Amino acid sequence: MSRVRVAIVGGSGYTGGELIRLLLFHPQVEITQVASGSQAGHFVHSAHPNLRKISTLRFCHPDDLTSCDVLFLCLPHGVSSGEIARYRAIAPRVIDLSGDFRLRSPELYQRWYGHEHKAPSLLSEAVYGLPELHRSELTEATLVSGTGCMATTSILGLAPLYRAGIVNQSIPLVVEAKVGSSAAGAKAGPASHHPDRSGAVRSFEPTGHRHTAELIQELGQSGGELRQTVAFSATAIELVRGILVTAHVFLNERLDERAIWRVYREAYQREPFMRLVKERNGVYRYPEPKILAGSNYCDVGFELDVEQQRVVVIAALDNLMKGAAGNGVQALNCMMGWDETLGLTFPGLHPV
Amino acid sequence: MSRVRVAIVGGSGYTGGELIRLLLFHPQVEITQVASGSQAGHFVHSAHPNLRKISTLRFCHPDDLTSCDVLFLCLPHGVSSGEIARYRAIAPRVIDLSGDFRLRSPELYQRWYGHEHKAPSLLSEAVYGLPELHRSELTEATLVSGTGCMATTSILGLAPLYRAGIVNQSIPLVVEAKVGSSAAGAKAGPASHHPDRSGAVRSFEPTGHRHTAELIQELGQSGGELRQTVAFSATAIELVRGILVTAHVFLNERLDERAIWRVYREAYQREPFMRLVKERNGVYRYPEPKILAGSNYCDVGFELDVEQQRVVVIAALDNLMKGAAGNGVQALNCMMGWDETLGLTFPGLHPV
Amino acid sequence: MSRVRVAIVGGSGYTGGELIRLLLFHPQVEITQVASGSQAGHFVHSAHPNLRKISTLRFCHPDDLTSCDVLFLCLPHGVSSGEIARYRAIAPRVIDLSGDFRLRSPELYQRWYGHEHKAPSLLSEAVYGLPELHRSELTEATLVSGTGCMATTSILGLAPLYRAGIVNQSIPLVVEAKVGSSAAGAKAGPASHHPDRSGAVRSFEPTGHRHTAELIQELGQSGGELRQTVAFSATAIELVRGILVTAHVFLNERLDERAIWRVYREAYQREPFMRLVKERNGVYRYPEPKILAGSNYCDVGFELDVEQQRVVVIAALDNLMKGAAGNGVQALNCMMGWDETLGLTFPGLHPV
Amino acid sequence: MSRVRVAIVGGSGYTGGELIRLLLFHPQVEITQVASGSQAGHFVHSAHPNLRKISTLRFCHPDDLTSCDVLFLCLPHGVSSGEIARYRAIAPRVIDLSGDFRLRSPELYQRWYGHEHKAPSLLSEAVYGLPELHRSELTEATLVSGTGCMATTSILGLAPLYRAGIVNQSIPLVVEAKVGSSAAGAKAGPASHHPDRSGAVRSFEPTGHRHTAELIQELGQSGGELRQTVAFSATAIELVRGILVTAHVFLNERLDERAIWRVYREAYQREPFMRLVKERNGVYRYPEPKILAGSNYCDVGFELDVEQQRVVVIAALDNLMKGAAGNGVQALNCMMGWDETLGLTFPGLHPV
């Protein structure tokens, strides 16, 4: 059986590199081309040193892309929407890991990204590529969007509660994300300069973060239009890979721990990459991103304050895996009708 | 003029070590004794290697304490309240940095610490040793309590808004603290084992943390009895010293940024250790604990979501300094009528 | 075809955990039992949280081990040599990852480990399990020893130069190893307490380290009995996984860079896990352990001071992989006549 | 008594910032100007956020410098030697912290820095500003050079052995430095990008490092012209501030530990910033840079291999303090005839 031919545009960044790594070991896929405007002609391993001796691929120029079965776009936000027609002409299936096709309406781009969308007619067609929420749509999709890394963590942590209809939406939802430095990309600058970034606990965009829009959209889809105030804030911490989200949700009825457990178990028991983590003992009692580096798992746990009818939801993932490239491959697996775990079985390391 | 004679009980832990370091360089103080049950007879620098060649003090046994002017207690929670009579006989002024005299009522100990208080009659007498809130009481106090490190950060960040009466208390207050490993003390164990603790982003006590009680008590004092649900959670992160608190507060009226600035400026402009940090440019735009290591500053900043009437408060400090020993020395300076900054002028390092 | 039945003794430590992780995904192996005295009855994932949902294995008691095809021993140094008869009765092939069968003579144990060896007659039979040096012996071996993590890094970096006979042995060999905290094992203690271990650059055993003995033995085997003074020292650094070795070797003739390249290329061009890393440009110009976490590669590079006839050899690996469990699985693959890379293809992450 | 008027050129970098911090609290000094080409007009605390609320100084343009008593130069290597006449006209005493006046002969600049020196006639006049070696010359000096951070650590660790004449110079000296990221300066770039720099153990210039020249020059001055091969290599590690040097020295006679102790004690017992660290027990048995951050100490320890007649010297300091700005202030104190510890008493933190 011949392999599916996959190409990547924007392959020199961190998400691109992770995608190459995953697809090189994917049993059904052959990487035909990896394009990069800045790195054309260089070996892929010059940008991604972990791939030395593993691949002799070289970056091609984006203009030299030839047709393939699936095209991944790993471009900066705002770029792919302007060139999307060209990319769709190259491949019948396009998976865009940027933010350009995540939101369902052009107005939302105006509001959250601050510019007009360049291909508004495609927004209703694109599928938000989170298999746990949009699996059936993915099987038919020809344009799939990647998902924001902090949005993914938050949505996967919270969606079961919203779907179950137990959230008191008259009280604001507060979501706090802690995130590693790789989420800010491969480009160096003063904020990522090691002496200043190391050991940082740095609030950024404490209000108005773009991922809020995804959160509102997807939690709304999970349980009907969201009527709730959403307060999302993010803090950069000393970590390269990984996100931990802590979210505070109030319930519309008094539920005990078993009831919450049941909600999560029903939502996720058949999901290959969702794990419930809530232990009474030991060091790793709640989800922790540390042991997820390189894996596609999203771990979810919670704690209940019965009296306050409050649930603290704790969710963790690797921002380059389940938060970007890994989730993209999972979406590909869905689209192609393959086993969803193909190429994604690495369990993560301990200790690390 | 002769120096004030100060002794320390429980001097082998991290807070004790920090206190010794500060008092050795304090121009008005002489350390007479440092007691430690486990380290008696050893040099102080065997437990605190930064004090090599700086002090030839040795730990004495707690039973060998003699009278002095001021006694600091750095004992584990629950110990000092059982022995407080003895300590007060040794010194006319006692500053207890544990949690034993932080709360004003015995019932609160039952609820938050899970045990009966052993000296309930002293709780009304003890002063919560935060100069920014209780300066005048400190000048007369003979029993002063230290303050919880995460509580201190949260209270200093939030108190001005409560005092100004602009918080909408019908909406819950959500406070998220990010905290370094030194806050868990000097005792080794599986949770602090480097391969497992390094790079951790670890939720602990996502509900029910004891510092919540201090927060409720002190914010209540700042603006009248608190009527609000308080959701406090803490996450241990990769960091040794430092706390960053992110708190979400909703306002009871629509205010602009200048109004919030004014509230903070009025509250803190004469405070020697409070700094407002909110820059438009640069890397350090909000408070960051990284550059506070060793300093007694508490930096406070905020961001406003005008539409949501929401303020995100960001506050940072060094948990062993303004969150423990440094604040204790500042309280001592208040009690003695000295310049509040004596012994506390170290500005922190950059980069570090 | 039925899988080879493998059991592990001492499975609750870091090397044991890594071995379980590798063997769970090994296409030719079935794990029959994992024994642990302290963890018997508990799920394997209670000690190794990365294996949640991946394996439902439980630890058995060491007394309950039943016969199998291959037995891995991951016990503390000095234990297995006293119980080796019992373990060899359980399995026809034993791979002992401790130090007990690494050295070829009992006198060396007296000198470097400070105690008599409990099974001296087996020392000549045991094979030092480094496939790059002992591949042919491994195919016949029934008792194989693991290799010291810092010794492995040093030997793999240096052996080609010794084998080529170009080292001036009248000048001492100086080897400096930089090593992460996981090399000291899973047991917590004051030296691994995060506030004290974090950011440490800590010399330990600057003279007399046991791994020196392996180095002398194996470099001697590579190029005839070593006549050289060997100075080995190690420094613990801020890192969980990984070793970087820097070694200073003087040559017995004036060689240019191409000659050194040729020596390494001839030694390693057919080795699946050895990579030569020496780039003129970019950030990753020499070997770095950071991008090797989880991989079985050993990267080797060098720099030449032509005038001084000095080569600085730089070698890196993951101490739990090529330095312990990964190398053990590679040795198993050799012993069984399988493709040496089975179960060991993970390339490492970037960034991480 | 009026304060000495000090100005700084190149004040926006890390060494400049550290110098400002120290001089702001120096009891005999008044900072008159801080010049920076790129930051002119901005507050000093915009580049050095730890100085917020501590100083209201603004950077001036270098062209606007006016006369003062002492001028510190914190410019990139190769700049000050071309402008030195102008700077000496501004102040009767100049302390240049760059590499431009460290070496005593123009040929050495050609060889190690790869360019001709622009003011060769001044090289014999300039004093290598290490008080422990050149104290008496400093009292008369009008042009003083700062010292290389890794060179300083190595020299202070080794000089006593050379001065005592006990080193076997027929065997090469091998010096391995481990160094934090702040030593590479405040300018961001790919090598300092946090995801790539974090957790790095990165060899750089394994041969030919410029600090080797200082080492050769100063060890030669300590014990007569050096006849020895010097192999110096450096490894960047996960750390912001700090250097640990491990050096391997062979002795020309068989000495016991007490003899080595005596050598060091005699050399350093009256030195205010040199500490001998060699403990039998505890976690901090040898020098560690971690607890030196912000302090001006250089800690030195050793281990002896009696049989090999080898001493492993271990030395640690903070590269921005005793390795740059702190040592500069100490040199200033010497030049002015003040107590050498003025402004330099901060002991370092523990834990940190």
Amino acid at C16: G
Distance from CA of C166 to the nearest CA of D (A): 18
What distance in Å separates the CA atoms of residue A290 and residue C49, rounded to the nearest whole number?
Answer: 11
Check if the beta carbon of residue C300 is closer than 8 Å to that of residue C156: yes
The CA angle D301-D348-B27, to the nearest 5 degrees, is 125
Which chains have at least 3 CB atom pairs separated by less than 8 Å from chain D?
A: A, B, C
Peptide bond before A49: cis, by omega within 30 degrees of 0? Answer: no
Q: Which residues of B80-90 are buried (b: 16+ CB within 10 A; e: fewer)?
A: bbebbeebbee
pLDDT of residue D224: 77
Verify cis geometry, omega within 30 degrees of 0, for the bond prior to B351. yes
Q: What is the DSSP string of B63-75?
A: GG----SEEEE-P
Q: How far apart are CA D49 and CA C147, in angstroms?
A: 49
CB contact residues (below 8 A), chain B span 152-191, against chain D: 182, 186
Other CB atoms within 10 A of residue B118 CB? 16
- CB distance from C38 to chain B under 8 Å? no
**Coil, strand, or helix at residue C332?**
helix
Interchain CB distance below 8 Å, B238 and A237: yes
**What distances in angstroms separate CA D77 from CA C306, D81, D115, one per listed residue?**
26, 9, 11
Locate tokens 């002293």: which residue?
B122
Interchain pair B174, A233: CB under 8 A: no
Amino acid at D315: A
DSSP string, A110-152: IIIISS--S-GGGTTTSEE--HHHHHHHHTT-SEEE---HHHH
For residue D295, say whether it is annotated as part of any ligand binding site: no
Q: Which residues of C touch A297 (CB under 8 A)?
A: 53
Locate B135 and state its tokens: 């300066």
| Inter-chain CB proximity D349 and B294 less than 8 Å | yes
Residue B45's H or E segment, with its range, is helix B44-47
- Which chain B residues touch A182 with a CB distance below 8 Å? none
Torsion sign over Cα A148, A150, A153, A156: negative
Which one, of D327, D325, D296, D328, lies nearest residue D94 by Cα?
D328
**Would you state the structure tokens that stand for residue D49, as one six-digit string?**
């956020």
What per-residue confidence (pLDDT) applies to B225? 86
* Tens digit of each residue's pLDDT, chain A (352 residues): 689 999 999 999 999 999 999 999 999 999 999 999 999 999 999 999 999 999 999 999 999 999 999 999 999 999 999 999 999 999 999 999 999 999 999 999 999 999 999 999 999 999 999 999 999 999 999 999 999 999 999 999 999 999 999 999 999 999 999 999 999 999 999 999 999 999 999 999 999 999 999 999 999 987 778 999 999 999 999 999 999 999 999 999 999 999 999 999 999 999 999 999 999 999 999 999 999 999 999 999 999 999 999 999 999 999 999 999 999 999 999 999 999 999 999 999 999 9
**Amino acid letter, A101:** F
3-class SS of residue C156: helix
Q: How far apart are CA D172 and CA C307, in angstroms?
A: 14
- Asked whether the beta carbons of D190 and D274 are under 8 A apart, the reply is no
Residue among D212, D154, D155, D149 at smallest CA distance from D184: D149
Contacts B181 to C, Cβ<8 Å: 194-195, 198
Residues in chain B: 352
Quick: pLDDT tens for D258-282.
999 999 999 999 999 999 999 999 9
Provide ipTM, 2 decimals: 0.97
Q: Which two tokens stand for residue B293?
A: 């290591």
Q: Which phi and psi (to 5°) does residue A262 adopt?
A: -60, -40
Distance (Å, whole) CA C285 – CA C314? 11
Residue D303 near residue C207 (C-beta atoms within 8 A): yes
In terms of Cα–Cα distance, which of D51, D8, D54 is closest to D31?
Answer: D8
Cα angle D60, D66, D70 (rounded to 5 degrees) comes to: 100
Query: Which residues lie below 8 Å from residue C63, measured CB to CB, with a gap of 6+?
Result: none
Three-state secondary structure call for residue D59: strand
Contacts of B280 (CB under 8 A, 6+ apart): none
Residue A247: other Cβ atoms inside 10 A:
25
CB C131 within 8 A of CB C322: no
Chain B neighbours, 3+ Cβ pairs < 8 A: A, C, D
| Dist CA B106 CA C277 (whole Å) | 66
Q: What is the pLDDT of residues B208-233, one digit of tens each?
A: 999 999 999 999 987 778 999 999 99
CB contact at 8 A, D165 and D267: no
Catalytic sites of D, residue numbers: 149
Residue A270 burial class via C-beta count within 10 angstroms: exposed 0-12, middle 13-18, buried 19 and up: exposed
| Among candidates C53, C241, C349 on the partner chain, residue whose Cβ is nearest the Cβ of A50 | C349
B298 secondary structure, DSSP code = E
Closest in D190, D242, D283 to C201, CB measured:
D242
Domains and CATH numbers, chain B: 4-146+324-336 (3.40.50.720), 150-317 (3.30.360.10)
Question: What subunits touch chain C, counting only 3 or more CB pairs under 8 A?
Answer: A, B, D
- The pLDDT mean for chain C works out to 97
CA distance A79 to A294: 27
- How close C192 comes to chain B (CA, Å)? 5
* Measured distance CA(B343)–CA(A153) in Å, rounded: 45
Give yes or no for a contact between C8 and C19, defined as CB atoms under 8 angstroms apart: yes
Q: Do A231 and B310 touch (CB under 8 A)?
A: yes
Q: What is the pLDDT of residue C222?
A: 73
Interchain pair A49, C275: CB under 8 A: no
CB-closest option in D54, D241, D275 to B347:
D54
Verify whether the Cβ–Cβ distance B198 to C186 is below 8 Å: no
Whether a cis peptide bond, with omega within 30° of 0, leads into D351 is yes
Assign C161 to helix, strand or coil.
helix
Task: Give the CB-side neighbour count of residue B181, counting CA atoms within 13 A.
Answer: 31
CB A80 within 8 A of CB A57: no
Q: How many residues does chain A have?
A: 352
Question: B14-24 and B325-336 helices cross at what angle (nearest 10)?
Answer: 50
Tokens of C335: 């012993």
Question: Tell me, what's the pLDDT at C239?
Answer: 98
Residue D139 marked in a binding site: no
Q: What is the pLDDT of residue B1?
A: 64
Q: Which pLDDT score, from 0 to 100, does residue D1 have?
A: 64
How much is the CA Rg of chain A, to the nearest whole Å?
20
Phi, psi dihedrals of residue D5, rounded to the nearest 5°: -95, 115
Would you place residue C1 in the very low, low, confident or very high pLDDT band (cuts 50, 70, 90)? low
Residue C226, pLDDT > 70, answer yes
**Quick check: helix, strand or coil at residue A72?**
strand
Comparing CA positions, the residue from B215, B207, B214 lying closest to residue B233 is: B207
Cα-based angle C77, D244, A195 (whole degrees, multiple of 5): 110
Q: Which two tokens stand for residue A264?
A: 């999560």
- Alpha carbon D278 to chain centroid, angstroms: 23
The residue type of A283 is: V
Nearest to C233 by CA among D236, D200, D174: D174
Write the DSSP string, A207-255.
Answer: S--THHHHHHHHHHHHHSS--S-EEEEEEE-S-SS-EEEEEEEEBSS--
Nearest to A332 by CA among A63, A58, A31, A123: A31
Cβ contact (<8 Å) for D197 and A199?
no
pLDDT digit string (tens) for chain D, length 352 residues: 689 999 999 999 999 999 999 999 999 999 999 999 999 999 999 999 999 999 999 999 999 999 999 999 999 999 999 999 999 999 999 999 999 999 999 999 999 999 999 999 999 999 999 999 999 999 999 999 999 999 999 999 999 999 999 999 999 999 999 999 999 999 999 999 999 999 999 999 999 999 999 999 999 987 778 999 999 999 999 999 999 999 999 999 999 999 999 999 999 999 999 999 999 999 999 999 999 999 999 999 999 999 999 999 999 999 999 999 999 999 999 999 999 999 999 999 999 9
Interface of A with C in 254-283 (CB under 8 A): 275, 277, 279, 282-283
Where do the H-state alpha helices sit in chain C?
A: 14-24, 44-47, 80-90, 106-108, 131-138, 149-163, 194-197, 211-223, 257-268, 325-336
Question: Environment class of residue B64 by beta-carbon count within 10 Å: exposed (0-12), middle (13-18) or buried (19+)?
Answer: exposed
